[in-house]
Amino acid sequence: MSLRIENFVALLSGSIAAWLQRHAAARIEYLKAENRALRRRLGGRRIIFTAAERRTLGTLAKKVGRKALRDLDPIVTPATLLRGHRELVARKWTFPSRRRPGGPRTRADIEQLVVRMATENTDWGYTRILGALDNLGINLDRGTIQRI
């Protein structure tokens, strides 16, 4: 009895899989024909995609793969589509919002301490103030002390 149910389930799942494959193949053929029609209508002119379109197409192209893209006959070359994905990945790891020229700012309390040391000890130079701060466990550069 269970053998019949297993056979029925296998036959049903195989039928559904075949139907899905035919359905997907029909969609792909339609999109290929549409791409060919659009390419003929463009007549060799370039298409300028927006940044959002490039990102979307690049992400989808990466999932499809270079060989499959060649078979799909896209409007632009697979290399162009995959370049959009590479740029997207590169942009992800640049962190432009965090970048500023120079190092991190010196804390206000440390700046006040440096000014107090310089005003109370007028004969001290930058290097002597640096040594005193180092004794306190504060690591600054001589140029930072000069700037303060």
61 Cβ contact partners less than 8 Å away, ≥ 6 residues apart: 69, 74, 78, 81, 82, 84, 85
Q: Is 140 left (phi over 0), alpha (psi -120 to 50) or beta?
A: beta
Domain, as residue range, for 131 = 108-147
Q: Are residues 52 and 92 in the same domain?
A: yes
Same domain, 58 and 72: yes
Number of H helices, E strands in the chain: 7, 0
- In-domain check, residue 101: no
| Residue 78: predicted pLDDT | 85
pLDDT at 114: 92
- Judgement on whether residues 53 and 39 belong to the same structural domain of the protein: no
54 in the same domain as 88? yes
How far is 84 from 61, CA to CA, in rounded Å? 9
**At residue 128, does pLDDT exceed 90?**
yes
Rounded Cα distance between 82 and 57, Å, is: 8
Number of structural domains (the chain) is 3
CA distance 26 to 120: 85
**Average pLDDT value over all residues in the chain:** 84
Instruction: Count Cβ neighbours within 10 Å for each residue of 69-103 and write b for 16 or more, e otherwise.
Output: beeeebebebebbbebbeebeeeeeeeeeeeeeee
Query: Between these two residues, 19 and 97, which has the higher pLDDT value?
Result: 19
* Whole-angstrom distance, CA of residue 78 vs CA of residue 66: 6
Per-residue model confidence as pLDDT tens digits over 98-116: 666 777 788 889 999 999 9
Residue 38: is its pLDDT beyond 90?
no
Structure-block tokens of residue 127: 């290097």
